[in-house]
A and B are shown apart, each in its own frame.
Chain A
Amino acid sequence: MPKAKVTVGFRDQLRTAEVELPEGEATPWDGKSDLKVVGKPITRRDGALRVSGKAKYTFDLQQPDMLYAAVVRSPLPAAKVRSIDFSAAEAMEGVRAVYAVAEPGADILFAGQDVAAVAATRPELAKLAARAVKVDYERRAFVTNTISAAKPDAPKVHRAAVQERRTEGDEPGTGGGAEAKGNVRPLRPMQKGDVEAGMKGGTVHEASYVTQVQTHSALETHGIIVRWDDDQHITAWSSTQSIFSVRDELAEVFNLKPANVRVHTDFLGGGFGAKFGASAPGSRLGTIAGELAKKTGAPVKLMCDRHEEQVCTGNRPDAHQDVRIAGTSDGSLTAIHVRSLGSAGIGTGAGVGRNAFAIYTKCPNVLVDSSDVFTNAGPGTAMRAPGHPQGAFALELALDELAVKLGVDPLAMRLKNDEHPVRRWQFEEGGKRFDWAAKRAESKKMREGKARIRRGVGVAASIWGDFGRPKAAVATCSVLRDGTVEIRNGVQDIGGGIPTVLAQIGAEVFGRSLDTISVKHGDSDFGSSVGSGGSQTTSSVTPAVRNACEAAKTQFIAHVADLLKAAPTDVVWGADGTLRAGGKSITFAQACKKIDGESITATASRPRTYGAHPVAFLGAGMPEIAGVQFAEVEVDTWTGVVKAKQILAMHDAGRIMNRLTCTSQVNGGVILGTSYALMEQRVMDHDVGRMLNPNLESYKICGAADVPKIEVELTDVFTGANNTGAAGIGEPSTIPTAAALACAVFDAVGEPVRRLPMTPSRVLAAMGLVPTKGIIG
């Protein structure tokens, strides 16, 4: 295997490392590479289309003679379907087909589950017809409260064996451990040392922390258009973060060859982990649209409305975490024990991430023991850093509570226990920039003076792995006769701006301006690619694109050498775009015109992750991505209202590909985290088993006035892990936000708010201002 010397590390901590390059791999860009286009803050290519409304999302698309589907959903949280009567619906204006998703006898496990569907000529006619479908149910006992469901005598949610549903959005290495008992299904524990021994070696803090169910609430709801081109071919337009999983699911459901299913996603209005596959986690959208299209011979569009989006398309599970944490007077942690119960509704995957286990690694004794609890609610699914914001909140707030007990500064305590060199730098540098010590002194003064408005600051850490996938992305680079360099890969743009980054790779390799690079994406015919989950898009796709570009460039130089009658090694590529060899020259445009046939084309993939990284993620062969966020809040003690004032977000994303789009992703992560910290929550009535706020009004999401001032510091970390050096940022950037805000609220009022979101009611309660009980209940 070829070897390469690469400069790895970050800032002034650079060193040379020798790495083995897989076959065909371009020499990695490293700490010494002076890149002209990659890394620069370049505005996204389709920005004007998006802001002008010209960008067409799946929601906007229409096909000739298209029909609209509407789904009949169960209003009951647990039932058996006795019968479905379509007669009234079938007789209604515009109705072209009906379809029973649930056959008589089928189990209903949550309110919102698919029962039947109709297709009609207009969306409102389809909705009216769906309301006219009569379903007879046999009601059953149900349970929607996580803690009640975990009790042995609770109604059993699943009557059949549970399938673990995993997508590219789930963190590798997580998942089920043992068989379910009742509604409780243990997850694989994370363990090192002996926590009970560790507890004896230090002062112990013990408390329970609760986080809520958060819904993905993408601006564009789930939806798909399915068209049968003939009885063996489907074309679909899907609001998806994983085109190829949509293709594969449709192929499987309708027993077609994957190559006979073509999927398009030109623009996507958000996914956050809930948009994998042709179906939503709790609704078989692709099957329904496909069946209705088959029956009618017309394309069928099925878009969820907001109520459906809230109840059956996935969510971040809740978590009830009992935390015990111990440390000594110098701030050294001796033990961390987290026991968590969480519910992903009828689904799986309610763990609490790696935070407690893998950030404060000097702590010798750790046990994280979590279980899924089944409830009669829509299935949870991967949501931006599954498990991590929940885990970070409990761990970091518990750490601060212990720090107060020990009389240790929380920032110093984190430095005492975290070994990751990049995160250590982020803690130290961030502390200076944030004026940590002075701000802590100020908040103490306000607390002691019982000020009406108090300020507080907190800090929390992020952990994530570089999950860039080998061989999944296959990219093609063509140099066309008109001088365009065209890059093709099927990848969808979840909103991070991947087409812009791919153009930058092409511009960098060919030394051409960005406007001469064409990027074709969002179509399964453009070459296989990854789903946008696990923060892996950029680190999976850019290396494949670079390899394709380098290979096409090599062929192009050979073509130029032929034209100039020189050896390829003698061809010099001038900065002005002129190619010279042996006293002769030709411009890039002239050389392109002389290409035989349409183009010079090369196709390539991304090999395995290699390289030398500061910290391997959980000992596996991939870099650990570091991040730290500092938060400042203002609390009105008269009303309990918390205002997030500012967040300083210090993040590593490997080599930054585009400073502007990367910063935008961090901004998005911080806003999502702030919203989770302060207001978002699914409210479920446990007596009636319904979500009470299936909308975007009483399900509250940060608006402009709620967003803090955000300062982003992106630290380039060079690892030689792949040929572009890209790593992920989408998920790491939202992990510590809520935790840092909770620590800041604790600093401001002197009492911890151990339950998210930190609404005025909970802040007032933490301050001891709420009468414990009213007159009823």
Chain B
Amino acid sequence: MNPFTLVRLPTLDAAQDRVAAEPARRTFRAGGIDLIDRMKEGLDEPDELVELAAIGGEHGQRMRGIVQTDDGGWRIGALVTLGQIADFDDLPSAYGAVKEAAGHAATPGIRNAASAGGNLLQRPRCWYFRHSDLQCLKKGGYECLALTGDHRYNAILGGGPSFIVHPSSLGSALVALDASVTVAGKDGLRTMPIEQLFAPPTVDPVKEHTLADGEVLLSIDLPAPLAGQRSAYHYAKEKQSHDWPLAEASVRCTVEGGTLREVRVALGHVAPIPWRSKEAEAVLEGAKPSAELFAKATEAALSVAKPLEGNAYKVPLAQGVLRYALHFATSTPLPA
């Protein structure tokens, strides 16, 4: 790891000016979990880390709190830790998916340091990207080594030219929950649907988000729960203690008079962005929940999959994971 300086500035403006002046050499530090890992591997070599936790005032307050907003929704600050989200009792059960996703990520130790914003903006786990000896498309090279290499954990949906999977578990849950994010930029604050935070590799393969240099993610906004809103999150991992999911699924819906409404389905770790499945939503919307319906919906969700030679197993696996999430979201008993 290269030596670096930790800079603590009291205001958001000062912090943003500092980074924007030399974006190639300076970067923000939130929880530091992924950033320090990358620095240890020599992937990122900033001279200066500008610490978001030092920021005070209303922006600092906004980044650190979980609060209910005037419209009945909830605002989660970007510096709130995954552990705080998982353990926050007042967050309504309608948002169960995001609590579950936060609570199943990494380890208790990491969850107590990793921030929500950092989780959404962390870099991919692809082992070609993470290998300091190797140059790949994601690092400004010419080719995605996963395409012809060992891509067991790579994308089966929306891949190309890079085949990473987006690493954020919160991401898929927040997409399903129709969240938005607020970003502080040069010209003040802007709010956008969370799906617009994530950028597919066709835009710029070296970047997974749409933020400009010096922009800071301030908070995540959950809309007021719909009447009777339910949600669920499920995953499958190769290892049950501390592992990244092979696939994960988040579902939001309401059940009115025995009929599914307002269905949103998102899959994680299957695509370069948290993957909204409109195919599954179309099958489920207005239908009566049942094991058979869910099997059909999961087939629809993965019907658009384009697996690589060595990761076709993720198709049935993602179907299985989504089936569980649909059963849990609707409290439909699992088949024996």
Q: Do A and B bind each other?
A: yes
**Which residues of A pack against B, CB within 8 Å?**
75, 111, 124, 127-128, 131, 449, 451-452, 636-641, 643, 678-679, 683, 685, 687-688, 690, 692-693, 698, 700-706, 759-762, 764-765, 769-777
Picked from B3, B241, B308, B317, the residue with its CB within 8 Å of the CB of A639 is B317
Q: Find out whether the CB atom of B148 lies under 8 angstroms from the CB atom of A688.
A: no
Of B113-121, B128-136, B213-221, B225-233, the segment with at least 4 beta carbons within 8 Å of chain A is B128-136
A-B CB contacts (within 8 Å), total count: 123
Q: Give the contacts of B180-235 with A (CB-CB under 8 A).
A: none
- Given the interface pairs A111-B133, A640-B317, the reply to whether A774 lies near B311 with Cβ below 8 Å is yes
Q: Say whether B306 contacts A705, CB under 8 Å.
A: no
Instruction: Give me the interface of B with A, judged by CB distance under 8 Å.
Output: 1-3, 42, 125, 127-128, 131, 133-134, 145, 147-150, 152-153, 156, 236-243, 246, 306-317, 319-321, 323-324, 334-336
Bound state CA distance, A690 and B313, in angstroms? 24
Q: Are A770 and B320 in contact (CB under 8 A)?
A: no
CA distance A415 to B71 in the complex (A): 72
- Would you mind naming 30 contact pairs between A and B with Cβ atoms under 8 Å apart? A111-B133, A124-B3, A451-B336, A452-B334, A638-B319, A640-B313, A641-B237, A683-B127, A683-B150, A685-B149, A687-B145, A687-B148, A690-B133, A692-B150, A698-B125, A700-B238, A705-B241, A761-B311, A761-B317, A765-B313, A769-B316, A770-B315, A770-B316, A771-B312, A774-B306, A774-B307, A775-B306, A775-B307, A776-B147, A777-B310
Report the separation of the CA atoms of residues A703 and B237 in the bound assembly, to the nearest whole angstrom.
12
A638 touches B2 (CB 8 A): no
- Within 8 Å by CB of A770, from B1, B133, B313, lies B313
Q: Output the nearest chain A residue to B160 by Cβ-Cβ distance.
A: A776
Residues in A neighbouring B238, C-beta threshold 8 A: 641, 678-679, 700, 759-760
Could you tell me if A700 and B149 are in contact, using CB atoms closer than 8 angstroms?
Answer: no
Minimum Cβ distance to chain B for residue A727 (Å): 34
Would you call B313 and A641 a contact (CB within 8 A)? no
**Which B-chain residue is minimally distant from A449 (CB atoms)?**
B336
Which residues of chain A are near B336, meaning CB under 8 Å?
A: 449, 451-452
CA distance A637 to B335 in the complex (A): 12
A693 to B152 CA separation, bound complex (whole angstroms): 13
Secondary structure of the B side of the interface? Answer: loop
- Residue pair B308, A774 in contact (C-beta under 8 Å): yes
CB distance from B208 to the nearest CB of A (A): 19
- With A and B bound together, what is the CA distance between A604 and B31 in angstroms? 59
| 8 Å CB contact of A771 from B134, B236, B307 | B307
| Pair A638/B133 contact, Cβ less than 8 Å | no
Residues of A within 8 A of B243 (CB): 700
Expressed in whole angstroms, the Cα–Cα distance for A678 and B238 within the complex equals 8
**B319 cross-chain contacts in A, Cβ below 8 A:** 638
Query: Which residue of chain B has the shortest Cβ distance to A446 in the bound complex?
Result: B336
Q: Once the chains are docked, how many angstroms separate the CA of A167 from the CA of B328?
A: 55
A774→B308 CA distance, assembly (Å): 5
User: Please, how many angstroms separate the alpha-carbon atoms of A75 and B147 in the complex?
Assistant: 22
**Which one of A679, A764, A774 lies within 8 Å of B239 (CB-CB)?**
A679
User: How far apart are A748's CB and chain B's nearest CB, in angstroms?
Assistant: 15
Q: Is the CB of B239 within 8 A of A700?
A: yes
Verify A124–B239 contact, CB threshold 8 A. Answer: no
Q: Which residues of B contact A777 (CB under 8 A)?
A: 148, 308-310
Max chain A Cβ within 10 angstroms of own Cβ: one of B125, B246, B316: B316
Instruction: Tell me which of A75, A636, A641 has the highest count of chain B C-beta atoms within 10 A of its own C-beta.
Output: A641
- Complex Cα gap A368–B270 (Å): 43
Is B150 in contact with A764, judged by CB distance below 8 angstroms? no
Chain B residue contacts of A641, Cβ below 8 A: 236-238
